[in-house]
Structure 1
Amino acid sequence: MEISTLRALNAAKRGRLGAVLVSDLAAGTSHLVTEDRVAADQLGDEIRARLLSGKSGIIDIDGKSLFLNVYLPPPRIVVIGAVHISQALAPMAALSGFAVTIIDPRTAFATPERFAGIDLRVEWPDEVFATMPLDRYSAMVAVTHDPKIDDPGVIAALQAGCFYVGALGSRKTRAKRIERLTAAGFDAETISRIHAPIGLDIGAATPAEIAVAILADVIQSLRRRTVGAASGSYEASP
């Protein structure tokens, strides 16, 4: 790998930008395609598919054997609310390969005993995001039912282009959230990105079942996101 390519790859990693290193196995040459440049590459469709699956591999095209090595930032799930759903969701998400952060300023709920081994932030969401910004490889899950705590997380996620934004709540709760977000300047298209009711509709009833529905929804959004927009944005596909 040339030094310039290595530098570009390291820059993509620092910027949490997905990339694919395309190597011609016979010629010994390679070039790097970052996710914001997919559309400009002749292997755009193949690279896009690799960025979605995260799987590296060999392809044969035009008589050449090419190895596509995929580099993706570790995806993460940020949960607003140290509640029973979060207790079930956190270990399942970690087993699925997500870095998990739980945020809740309420000390009665956010205790190390309830979230052993999990990145637990007993702070207000705004305070956390000042030092840990969200990005396109982040999923936001808001489950406190308290707008003072949930809304800052939802707003930050929409602004950052997170691949998933979900919020717990009834139709009445959702309607009030839409009113608040509209008043905050968000348009209907942006607000529609919020998964609410949160999670896939599997008839979940218990906190653990709701956690399963949420995690499945997050994984589906990660694997079906739009890749390669000129702006580099990621939005969940319908």
Structure 2
Amino acid sequence: MTSGTEQADLSRFDSAPELALTWHRAGIGAVLATVVETWGSAPRRTGAQLVVGGDGRMEGSVSGGCVEGAVILEAQDTLESGLHKVLEFGVSDEDAFAVGLACGGTIRVLLEPVGKTLDEEVLEALVLARAERRALAYEVNLGSGKGHLVNPASYPDRMKMDRSGVEEDGETFVAVHNPLLRLILVGAVHIAQALVPMARLAGYDPVLIDPRAAFGSAARFPGETILQDWPDEAIERLGLDRRTALVLLTHDPKLDDPALLAGLGGGCFYIGALGSRRTHAQRCQRMIAAGFNQDDLARIHGPVGLDIGAASPAEIAVSILAEMTAVLRGRAGGGTE
């Protein structure tokens, strides 16, 4: 087994809490900036985060790049004052496109200096929960700046929809922290070499499974997590949940089928399998023989990926990631040959 470095893990777009804690503990200072409300065509959804260091460094985003400069300056002020701040940015239709908030979009951004209004112990508990793939909600009063972690059962609809936002009282902001999206790839093939970096950019934490050492090597996938175990054993160790996508790429039933059996018995939101329609029909027959029914088979996206006419490994990777996104967001997918 080889594993990615801590730096690789921290480079994900959705790692603002982890970076904020790391920078704070390193003595740099950190402010967590969170989009708490949007109106119109705001470029980032509610809950999007940016972390600002005391030395001016930044990771993440709260807009299309048009307000980050102002957020950084305001964040420096909160580090000095130790007080939280809520910023509002909006533009008119006339100058919307000039600054990036199209169609008169407006956003409100909460600034929380770590170790001051945002308690270090609260942030540490959040980071630990994220590492352990435990869902949590963070509730903060926008007036007082006081925040704490709450049981996700307190906000079942928000957790299910993965939707942060301000409650009806206009003062309570709830940040949803579901487990990070995870992509389990069986088969460290050429398509995987394109799909892994794309998936990471889209916010997934990819894990490769391939018992064939020549395929699943650090040289072919530098810095990535590679499990050189039999697929069913590796999947049993990893576990499957509703934030996990499982993609099978080997074309070899000896490797794909054990993973597929585990996937159909688990709770992952997406299962995709590479192969022609004929190959998929044969795969389904084997699953029926194993005791699964038509409803189970309907969970398998095969041939994998949206039908965009993909030909090259990179294009196939795009089609797979697009279909994963469609299923995650409740849209219909479609197969490719």
Unaligned residue ranges in structure 1 (runs of 5+): 39-43, 226-235
TM-score of the superposition, structure 2-length normalised?
0.55
Deviations 1:209-229 (A, max 9, x none): 00011111112222338xxxx
In the alignment, the residues of structure 2 paired with residue 122 and residue 12 of structure 1 have an alpha-carbon distance, to the nearest angstrom, of: 27
1:88 aligned partner? 194
2:211 aligned partner? 105
Pair 9,88 (structure 1): closer, same or farther in 2 beyond 3 Å: closer
Unaligned residue ranges in structure 2 (runs of 5+): 1-117
Pair 37,10 (structure 1): closer, same or farther in 2 beyond 3 Å: farther
1:186 aligned partner? 292
Give the structure, 1 or 2, with the largest relative contact order (CA under 8 Å, sep 6 or more).
Answer: 1
Deviations 1:72-105 (A, max 9, x none): 1111101011111011111111122211111111
Equivalent AA in structure 2 for residue 58 of structure 1? V
127, 136, 152: which one aligns with 1:34: 152
The Cα shift of 1:26 comes to 6.1
Deviations 1:14-55 (A, max 9, x none): 8735444455656979894636972xxxxx3x5644x1x5xx
176, 188, 211: which one aligns with 1:70: 176
SS across alignment from 1:128 = helix
Per mean C-alpha deviation after superposition, the further-off stretch among 212-221 and 141-150 is 212-221
Count of matched residue pairs? 212
- Tell me if the contact between 1:79 and 1:101 (Cα under 8 Å) persists in the aligned partners: yes
TM-score of the superposition, structure 1-length normalised?
0.76
Pair 37,192 (structure 1): closer, same or farther in 2 beyond 3 Å: farther
1:170 aligned partner? 276
In the alignment, the residues of structure 2 paired with residue 74 and residue 165 of structure 1 have an alpha-carbon distance, to the nearest angstrom, of: 17
The Cα shift of 1:164 comes to 0.7
Pair 36,209 (structure 1): closer, same or farther in 2 beyond 3 Å: farther
2:242 corresponds to 1:125 = no
In the alignment, the residues of structure 2 paired with residue 37 and residue 125 of structure 1 have an alpha-carbon distance, to the nearest angstrom, of: 35
SS across alignment from 1:160 = coil
SS across alignment from 1:131 = helix
The Cα shift of 1:168 comes to 0.6
Per mean C-alpha deviation after superposition, the further-off stretch among 103-112 and 166-175 is 103-112
1:149 aligned partner? 255
The Cα shift of 1:71 comes to 0.8
In the alignment, the residues of structure 1 paired with residue 159 and residue 226 of structure 2 have an alpha-carbon distance, to the nearest angstrom, of: 36
The Cα shift of 1:58 comes to 2.6
- % identity of equivalent residues: 45
The Cα shift of 1:184 comes to 1.1
Per mean C-alpha deviation after superposition, the further-off stretch among 19-28 and 163-172 is 19-28
The Cα shift of 1:175 comes to 0.9
In the alignment, the residues of structure 2 paired with residue 167 and residue 26 of structure 1 have an alpha-carbon distance, to the nearest angstrom, of: 50
Structure 1 segments, 4+ long, off by >3 Å, are 8-33, 46-49
- Tell me if the contact between 1:22 and 1:33 (Cα under 8 Å) persists in the aligned partners: no
- Tell me if the contact between 2:182 and 2:204 (Cα under 8 Å) persists in the aligned partners: yes
